[in-house]
Structure 1
Amino acid sequence: MSGELWLGTSENKPFFYKSKNLTTHALIIGMTGSGKTGLGITLLEEICLKNIPSFVIDPKGDMGNLCLALKNTDEFLTYTNDKSRAENLANSLRLGLNDDLERVSEFKNSVDFTIYTPKSSSGVGVALLGDFVPPQNLDDEAMINYVNSLTSSILSLLSINADDASKEHILISKILSNAFEEGKTLSLSELILAINEPPFSQIGIFDIEKFYPANERFKLSVRLNLLIASANFKAYTNGERLNIKNMLFNGTKAKCNIFSIAHLNDNERMFFVTFLLNEILAWIRTTSGTDELKAVLYMDEIFGYFSPNANPPSKTPMLTLLKQARAFGLGCVLSTQNPVDLDYKGLSNIGTWFIGRLITAQDKERVISGLNGDKTELFSQISNLEKRQFLIKNIHDDALKILNTRYALSYLKGPLTADEIKNLMSQKRQNFSHKDEQNQRPLISNEIKQLFASDKNELNAYFLGTARVRFYDTKLNIDTNLDLSFLGEACENFSWDNASKNPELNFTQMPQNATFMPLPSEILRLKNTKNLQSDLRDFIYQNEGLYLYASPRLNSNPGESKQEFLARLSLNDSSKEQEALEQKFKAQKARLEDKLASARQRLVKEQNDAKTSTIDAVVNIGASLIGAFFGKKSVSKIATSVKSTNRLLKERNDVKLSEAGVDEILAQIDDLEREFELKLAEIKSKNLQINQIKIAPKKSDIFIQDVVLVWM
């Protein structure tokens, strides 16, 4: 029936549990051998058959049995290596299912099964240490709880048992909070750097140095950095990132995500469980409210993760899920051998209890204290439970019921070996390893600063080197600083010779869902960029210089283009040689103009004298002719007339000479002006002739500012 999970029989009738009831969560309690694991797997089988996504935390390694939907002897033989036993298992399955083996096939094809093995290559990898991505849609209280829990899990990985009032916890949580408030994704390398050099100067009213001195912060950053430096660090980062939204469905088929963590040590298990719970908690905040079951979180063997007498990092997110997840359709199912493993606040938020066989009277009494009914009868009922029998207390039902669990569709083999997981997940591992190689952000030394200069998803790495160079020359009166930058692809045998100069870059935050191209091993092994900085200094010394344009009278300014310099020369074309030429020209022209004025004065006088002489000569000749006609003193008058005529001729000749003198001076002025223009043009042409000169830097004047890795 839709929405009902067939778990077995009660009072010889099929027992169906409403999937909707799981939103108020469930608890399975039972000693070893009680059938607790079988009930958990049966419950998850029904969840799978209803196409509901599930997240299964498996500290012991038993829950991978969900992937063993076997039907015939040959399939069982793969896991038993005993044909007789394989035949018995196949027969038992057929009898247990009343020959309804199609239900096994239906279950096998119902969901997409994946076994994740953090820090192991047997299953699909999960990155234990990656980037810390800011959660979305969390209110202030939820964000504080998320950050505190995440901080505790990080410290637990370092075997630091620090509460939220410790210096270590306060510092790391503030670094994470600051980054998340800015919407910034924080890598482990960036976290290490931020511990050493916090992006804030105060914590509360205290200066950071007074609250947490630099030498102590350095010790903490070194402990975290040891994870990066350790030989097995890559195992912490290999695998798929925990993206809960992507783990719900494969197309229309629900996913069953089994996280096998038996191979991890205690600190690693605590870190991973806390991290996963936080991610699930952050995911439900992005979903809409519902009263239907949308997904299930199942945790086998809760011991140590939800302790009533301690405060492990996993406790806060687990308690928050029990309190709030029901509103978003997430059902939590916890399994434990002992009720004292659970915090009482958590027990009050669990609606269904599946109680199996218990050993001690203390365990039975603790369970009975939470049940309604006659205490003596309840004690007797619990004491008489058989294997695979469970007393059910459901807040949605008035009466207590006894459940006999059905035959599991999965082969309950027990913990899977690494090889068995590897065989089961071989195809998924191959597919993922290719994806992982392309997508994972390479982990490099925290001493190498990383920046982003692109909003594209596919990113390549480049080295960006920046420097300030002083150029000094006393003869040219030059003393200036230039800022230079060089960008080169971070490839094998990297060299600044192939770098571009002064690139224009716009730095951004790391793009969401970015994919990173692999880095050469020699770059992955770099501890810092000191050698690259030294190479950059040598490169600048050998190849760079301050290039100027020089003319006989001026030099260009640093950064001034040739066109700008020529324009400035044209506007400021005066020179000493030109000034001397102009002064000499003015003096020579002045002298010639004085001579011209004098010559013109003589010419005017000569012209006036000639004019007067002409009139006198005409009068005298006329008088002589009249006198001769009348016979009076003719000879004397004619002689006088001749003299006047001779004088006139002389004065006219003087006029011509004076005119010639004026013309000659005017010609001399013209020649002087032409000569001046030619010489002036020659000087200007010479002044506009420019050459390029280079001022080389001294090595001591090259100041390398930084070499960083830029993803773009």
Structure 2
Amino acid sequence: MSLPVPRPDDFEKLGIFYLGRGYDLEARTPTEPLFLYESKHLLTHALCVGMTGSGKTGLLIGLLEEAAIDGIPAIVLDPKGDLANLLLTFPSLAPEAFRPFIDADEAAQKGKTPDALAADVATFWRDGLAASGQDGARIQRLRDACEVTVYTPGSSAGVGLSLLGSFEAPGSTVIEDAETFGGMIEGAVSGVLALAGVEAEPRSREHVLLSQIFAAAWSEGRALDLATLVQSIQKPGFDRVGALDLETFFPAKDRGALALAVNALLASPSAAAWARGESLDVAKLLRAPNGKPRVAILSIAHLSDAQRMFFTTRLLDAVIAWMRRQSGTSSLRALLMMDEIFGYFPPTAAPPSKRPMLTLLKQARAFGLGIVLATQNPVDLDYKGLANCGTWFLGRLQAERDKMRVLDGLEGANVAAGHGFDRATMDTWLSGLGNRVFLCNNVHAGGPVLFQSRHTLSYLRGPLTREQIAALKPSKDEPSAGVKPVPTANSNGNVNANGNSRPAVHGDVEEVFFPARVEGPGIVYRPGVFAMVKLHYVQAKKQLDHWESLALMAPFLAASADVDWPNATTMTATFATTCRREPAADARFELPPAITVAKAKTWQKSLVAHAYQARPLVLLESAEASVLSRPGEAPAEFHARVAHGIRELRDERVAALEKKYGPKLAALEEKIRTAEGKLQKEQADVAAQRTNTAVTLGSSFFGMLLGRGVATAANVNRAGAVARQAQRASREKDDVARVEEALRVLYEKRTALQTEAEGEFQKVQREVDAAARATAELRITPRKADITVERIALGWVPFRAGANGALEAAW
């Protein structure tokens, strides 16, 4: 008999991941109950083990899909390239959507054209989703809920990540933690030396010297790049290493050889890709600029072993640094998944990646970060460290020794959690697993469960090619991050006839000259007003007290010495340090308006008025989540905090509903179980009474036959017994009817209570969804008395003639 198709109401529940169906190992078939996993259980981390072909990749992708639908961002380390299949989501489920990912050779082997195979795949995916209660609408929901981006460090196929461009200093919370700080330095130094081809143990002089350099720079909050590192190796800036002077510990000649090795890495064309791309910023990996949750897939299949270790260690250290900046929480904030940890977490050796991984397994829970690790090689794993994993998803294993090693680790995890462990049963179950069938041992659940994973929303194509990843890479349609040209109202081309002369300006009026991108003849300066002003924003109710400095460059109003502050351009904070006191040689000047000292003083007054009226501090606020954006905070960071605040609110309200309805439903279930037991007893009594009556009636009948119809005393007694038994049977039937009626009432009460509870849960979901969207702008006017003009000057902006002869900004 086929199982009923699940409905969305069965699995689209708050904080619940739909991962599959229960499974009957003896019958080799899925069973009625769905396998639903509470997302908060990932706070105690998860391990997934299974050989090639076990369905492990499908389970991991299904878990990521559920997290994304729930608004939980994830960082995914993908050493094999399989998890990039999350990009292949086709809501239409049309053959033409699958066609670009159909291999012509594979189609030929199956005796089909690529178009025909694409049609077969589309049909298979549509039918598989339908059987699991899913469809194209759920695929669209997944796409709407999150952004999937594939990053390829050291390659231009996907989005690049810059790891050698700069080694950013960690935050103060990490620096103050001596163990974590030392570990991050060790990981960075080990990676650089490995990439440079220098074999050096942590106690070697090469490693110690670089560690000292990193420690000195990071302790001062300074970032390091390779060029600075090469210079620091030659001239470290300190004279002693431990008890020895620098020359005794590491002579200058030997340091020169090390500098050359690192410099070769800097000059290597293959290493240039490591310096291009986005910075390794965990917050940006987890959230798009608009705050949308992101599944960031870090594909490292194309890297060498040394490069993979370098990148993995850097990433894990960056995650730790990000984690330390988060507030504590009991709700799931984000996921970190690694598809193959073989070689990164061995039981005896200590590669650079092991230290940060162990730190995360021990500490990430407190910050709402769930770790999901997976491998097909269970023998070479540190199961003492993996005892921190509360959930184990175990698929089909390749060898008996793999099963024994998993059983050892599983037993240790259960003992550590204070749970019993039936090794014989586990052994039997593990031995009978098939494809897509998993044993889930969750320390938060009542016991181990067998389940079959659901059909994924993503098309499981297998590892994507470089060309396919490149084709799926997001387009670069973001505006340039550079400074926009200064608007110039006074740009009538009236150039001073004396090309090299500088217009006379009153000595009490300061002048500054903006630097040109390229020095040389042909520069024409246009005038404006450069100002630096300090603003103070205060709002006691929001506990806000913020000072902000602005650097502005404003044009003059046409034919006037008045300043057009509304059209001023905001400059970078460091721009003032690049301004010059003198113009470039052989420059020409547009004539400024008539400027007097008195007129210059009015610039300051007009700037104060402008700043008060038109320079509010604009913050975003989510009243429901009680979250206010911080000044200068990226929208993605704000939306991440809002999303987590909403999730915490949701979890609190769900817990309250469970507390409200859980005992009521449990009491009803107990009454139903009691009534069902009583009904079974009454029905058994009725059946027994029927049998007794039949036996008695038969005895009386045969007695009458044997007595040739004579009414003996025995026959009379038997007839009376038959009548009494018939009366008892009637009463028994009435008892059954009464119990059935009571049970029907109990069933109706349970249905009504379940409907009421479901309505409350759906109400929470609607309110949570509305709260997530309900953000408003908060505009705070600067305190007028505190507005301070720190600098105001006549500013000269360089221009050059373009190809068409018109002047173009040259700075």
Letter in 2 for 1:414: G
Structure 1 residues 202-601: aligned runs within 5 Å: 202-250=240-288, 251-369=290-408, 370-371=410-411, 372-427=420-475, 430-431=476-477
Which residue identity does 1:418 align to in structure 2? R
Deviation at 1:514, TM superposition (A): 8.2
Larger radius of gyration: 1
Task: Return the alpha-carbon distance in structure 2 between the equivalents of residues 163 and 110 of structure 1.
Answer: 46
Say which SS state the counterpart of residue 347 (structure 2) adopts: coil
How far apart are 1:490 and its partner, in Å? 8.3
Cα distance, 1:205 vs structure 2: 0.8
* Cα separation, 2, equivalents of 1:515 and 1:57: 36
**Residue in 1 that maps onto 2:147:** 112
Corresponding residue number in structure 2 for 1:73: 95
Query: Structure 1 stretches of 5 or more lacking a match?
Result: 440-486, 499-512, 518-711
Distance in 2, matches of 1:257 and 1:143, equals 26
Which amino acid in the other structure matches residue 406 of structure 1? R
Deviation at 1:515, TM superposition (A): 11
Shift of 1:168: 1.6
Q: Compared with structure 1, are the counterparts of its residues 312 and 358 closer, same or farther at alpha carbon in structure 2 (3 Å cutoff)?
A: same
Q: Please tell me whether residue 200 in structure 1 is matched to residue 238 in structure 2.
A: yes
User: Displacement, 1:164?
Assistant: 2.1
Gaps of 5+ in 2: 1-12, 24-30, 105-113, 412-419, 484-512, 525-570, 576-810
The Cα shift of 1:52 comes to: 0.6
- Counterpart in the other structure of 2:186: 148
- Give per-residue Cα distances to partners, 1:573-628, cap 9 Å, x unaligned: xxxxxxxxxxxxxxxxxxxxxxxxxxxxxxxxxxxxxxxxxxxxxxxxxxxxxxxx
Hey, what's the Cα distance between the residues in 2 that align with 1:39 and 1:516?
Answer: 50
Aligned to 2:158: 123
Aligned mates of 2:572, 2:79 — CA distance in 1: 32
State how far apart, in whole Å, the 2-side matches of 1:271 and 1:238 are: 16
1:241 offset after TM fit, Å? Answer: 0.2
Q: Which residue of 2 aligns with 1:53?
A: 73
Instruction: Tell me the alpha carbon deviations over residues 4-24 of structure 1, each in whole angstroms, 9 at most, x when there is no partner.
Output: 111001142111111111111
The answer to whether the Cα contact below 8 Å between 1:156 and 1:270 also exists between their aligned partners in 2 is no
TM-score, with length taken from structure 2: 0.54
Summarize deviations over 1:465-508 as a string: whole Å, max 9, x none.
xxxxxxxxxxxxxxxxxxxxxx996855779x99xxxxxxxxxx
Q: Contact 2:163/2:280 (CA < 8 Å) preserved in 1?
A: no
2:45 to 12, 21, 25: 25
Give the CA deviation at 1:264. 1.4
Distance in 2 (alpha carbons) for counterparts of 1:7 and 1:198: 55
Contact 1:308-1:340 at 8 Å conserved across structures: no
5 Å-filtered alignment, 1:168-183, equals: 168-183=206-221
| CA RMSD, Structure 1 to Structure 2 (Å) | 2.9
Quote how far apart the aligned CAs of 1:248 are.
2.4
CA contact (8 A) 2:148 2:295 kept: yes
Partner Cα distance (2:282, 2:276) in 1: 18
Structure 1 residues 83, 275: CA separation in 2 closer, same or farther (over 3 Å shift)? same
Q: What does 1:671-686 correspond to in 2, within 5 Å?
A: none
Would the alpha carbon gap of residues 283 and 382 (structure 1) be closer, same or farther in structure 2, given more than 3 Å must change?
Answer: same
Question: Could you tell me whether the CA contact under 8 Å between 2:185 and 2:214 is conserved in 1?
Answer: yes
Give the CA deviation at 1:177: 0.8
Percent identity (aligned) = 44
Q: CA separation in 1, counterparts of 2:371 and 2:461?
A: 25
Q: Distance in 2 between matches of 1:247 and 1:514?
A: 25
Kept in 1, the 8 Å contact 2:196–2:264? The answer is: no
Matched, 1:2 2:14: yes
Are the counterparts in 2 of residues 60 and 261 from structure 1 also a CA contact under 8 Å? yes
The aligned counterpart of 2:123 is 91
1:103 Cα deviation from its structure 2 partner: 0.8
* 1:306 Cα offset (Å): 1.4
TM-superposed CA distance for 1:320, in Å, is 0.7
Distance, in Å, in 2 between the alignment partners of 1:195 and 1:73 is 58
Deviation, 1:162, is 2.9
Amino acid across the alignment from 1:291: S
Deviation string 1:254-311 (CA, Å, 9 cap, x unpaired) is: 0111111111112211111111111111000000011111000011111121122322
User: Partners of 1:333 and 1:9 in 2: how far apart?
Assistant: 21
CA displacement at 1:73 relative to structure 2: 1.0
| Contact in 2 for aligned 1:159/1:267 (Cα 8 Å) | no
Q: Which of 418-427 and 321-330 deviates more?
A: 418-427
How far does residue 187 in structure 1 lie from its aligned partner after superposition?
Answer: 1.7
Q: 2:170 matched to 1:135? A: yes
Paired with 2:49 and 2:516, the residues of 1 have a C-alpha distance of: 56
Show the counterpart of 1:470.
Answer: none
Q: State how far apart, in whole Å, the 2-side matches of 1:64 and 1:415 are.
A: 7
Instruction: Return the offset for 1:357.
Output: 0.8
Which residue does 2:62 correspond to in 1?
A: 42
Is contact 1:72–1:90 with CA below 8 Å preserved after alignment?
yes
| Count of matched residue pairs | 457
Superimposed CA distance per residue, residues 186-205 of structure 1 (whole angstroms, 9 cap, x where no aligned partner)? 22211111112111111111
Counterpart of 1:184?
Answer: 222
Measured after TM superposition, the shift of residue 421 of structure 1 is 0.8
Partner of residue 63, structure 1: 83
Q: State the distance in 1 between where 2:321 and 2:117 align.
A: 46
Measured at CA, do residues 514 and 395 of structure 1 come closer, stay the same or move farther in structure 2, by a change above 3 Å? farther
User: In structure 2, how many angstroms separate the alpha carbons of the residues matched to 1:209 and 1:32?
Assistant: 54
Distance (Å, rounded) in 2 between the aligned partners of 1:314 and 1:494: 51
What's the TM-score, normalizing by structure 1? 0.61
The CA deviation at 1:394 is 1.0
1:67: Cα distance to partner? 0.7
CA distance in 2, matches of 1:157, 1:321: 25
1:348 is paired with a residue of what secondary structure?
A: helix
**1:629 aligns to what?**
none
